[in-house]
Structure 1
């Protein structure tokens, strides 16, 4: 067995193992009952929100790429984004689809700028999610948002927000260094400013990133509502981003297992049960998988063309 195949098998096994552990720690029968009785109307709402966030993300990528001298048509941007998402949801690591998107877009400006456009677009989305989470934590402390965050949760959120801010600070300071490292970091900062904060671009980046974050958070809330759980605003703004951030850890397939563990651990802070957290996370994962299925169309079309 090759190293890559062994790594893939290990990540799939870890995802399955984590879910088994979670099932043993919560009321698995209750979680299954919630899933079986899920309201399809709320699941459809989640499907629509996740489909919308894909289109909005594609538009954000198109804008970012344009600032880096890449012209990508609307239809192509949406098609490529769907394709990258379906690959991310199907293969271990969660980033292979984005790497492929950069490779296919390299023709106009080269692989470096194509990769940078993809990376900055994804980074903008994560920054927006961290901003919502930080603002939600402040609001939960100042006003009653249905969530009373314990100290460890507040510390975790603060650390993530500080880490996101720290990336920008390190990149900026790195540009001041002498030699090749300083030139490389300086070039990165210049390109990032051009792509994300240039006049006429900044507010579009902010609006699209906050909109995609809202779509993801509300989609999870809709999945929770489908199984009979109404999450308070504080939980949606603070806990759900942490649950979704768990998916970014590249040790399983599409975050399966990690997301369920985070949901089963965190959602009880909002008055739900671990079983409800597990059920809501599984529902979200399945709806998300269904929502990216249009990404299979380019693959099927290419195979059909190859067989002609």
Structure 2
């Protein structure tokens, strides 16, 4: 027993060191993946593709961040039915603040803490996390529908069977979230479908900005797979995994340099909302913390278990004594 104890402690220290250094390892893995991709694309070709970006299509893609944020906030406001006072402006602030958290948290898990932005009570955290889970289920379902639609248009019978399987998986994923009243679930699905239409339109603008022309059925059949690859929590923001998936899936459509540029542009889908949400994260988190502290300081439980309120007496300015001035030498 005594001989095994040092080995167990040593393994525990190694595991704790890996857990602490995992964020740095994720960045290192992303750098290795991107370095290998850019080396295969040839650096001079990559710079040429960046220099030849179409500014018009790129501007259209960037402008789509506005309706995406508004629609995401509207969906969050409709889901957060426990808070009847949640306005669209506050929902926009919560959405952007969650996007700022997603810069450091993997796989967009920052969305699960939006319920605590309004109030730091545990029930609000739980309710917000459950609503966010319904959002994620709807996102996956709609993305699978788009994947199945793209695969359905292929001529191969095997691919058609895969499309049917994707639709069946979509129905299986949506069914647990379809609790009465049904109109709320249908509204969630329509909002998610419209939101993903904007997302796919933005990604299509990225492809056009990089000079990559893809048939719409091929685009719908392969883009969701790259998005799913980017959700794997191996690298921050899906860097490297999503880029490599794009380079492999669309290798027969465009050169590697152009696809690498598309991968860089798709990274802005994390970066731009996150940077925009940094001021909102500071405001929302400080406001929620102040409300929580105010609730705890406004009521004190005495020894008998009764509740009494703290009432500070008004400040009597007339009672203040003026300090004597110090004479100058």
Q: Does 1:24 align with 2:34?
A: no
Shift of 1:160: 5.5
> Does structure 1 conserve the Cα–Cα contact (< 8 Å) formed by 2:96 and 2:280?
no
Q: Could you list the runs of 5+ residues in structure 2 that have no partner in the other structure? A: 1-15, 290-329
- 1:29-178 aligned at under 5 Å gives the runs 29-66=44-81, 69-71=82-84, 72-88=86-102, 90-105=103-118, 107=121, 109-141=123-155, 162-167=168-173
Query: Which structure exhibits the higher relative contact order, with contacts defined as CA atoms closer than 8 Å and separated by 6 or more residues?
Result: 1
Output the CA distance in 2 between the equivalents of 1:138 and 1:49. 28
Of 271, 289, 306, the match for 2:271: 289
C-alpha spacing 1:7/1:150, structure 2 compared with 1 (3 Å): farther
- Counterpart residue number, 1:224: 207
> Does structure 2 conserve the Cα–Cα contact (< 8 Å) formed by 1:94 and 1:248?
yes
After superposition, give the CA deviation of every residue in 1:271-307 in whole Å (9 maximum; x if it has no partner): 212222111111221365224432112245479999x
- Counterpart residue number, 1:246: 229
After superposition, give the CA deviation of every residue in 1:193-250 in whole Å (9 maximum; x if it has no partner): 34xx634324422221111111111111111111212222113211111111212111
After superposition, give the CA deviation of every residue in 1:80-129 in whole Å (9 maximum; x if it has no partner): 111111221x2151334223323335649533222100111122122111
C-alpha spacing 1:203/1:253, structure 2 compared with 1 (3 Å): same
After superposition, give the CA deviation of every residue in 1:47-72 in whole Å (9 maximum; x if it has no partner): 12233222212211221222xx3333
Q: Aligned-residue CA RMSD in angstroms?
A: 3.0
Of 164, 178, 181, the match for 1:193: 178
C-alpha spacing 1:62/1:112, structure 2 compared with 1 (3 Å): same
Structure with greater proportional helix content: 1
Output the CA distance in 2 between the equivalents of 1:130 and 1:81. 24
> Does structure 1 conserve the Cα–Cα contact (< 8 Å) formed by 2:117 and 2:284?
no
Of 12, 17, 22, the match for 2:27: 12
Output the CA distance in 1 between the equivalents of 2:122 and 2:286. 27
C-alpha spacing 1:50/1:168, structure 2 compared with 1 (3 Å): same
> Does structure 2 conserve the Cα–Cα contact (< 8 Å) formed by 1:43 and 1:287?
no
Output the CA distance in 2 between the equivalents of 1:3 and 1:158. 42
C-alpha spacing 1:28/1:232, structure 2 compared with 1 (3 Å): farther
Q: Could you list the runs of 5+ residues in structure 1 that have no partner in the other structure? A: 142-148, 170-188
Shift of 1:154: 6.8
Mean alpha-carbon deviation: is it higher for 97-106 or for 42-51? 97-106
Aligned residues: 271
User: What is the TM-score with the length of structure 1 in the denominator?
Assistant: 0.76
User: What is the TM-score with the length of structure 2 in the denominator?
Assistant: 0.72
Mean alpha-carbon deviation: is it higher for 281-290 or for 131-140? 281-290
> Does structure 1 conserve the Cα–Cα contact (< 8 Å) formed by 2:237 and 2:270?
no
> Does structure 2 conserve the Cα–Cα contact (< 8 Å) formed by 1:58 and 1:78?
yes
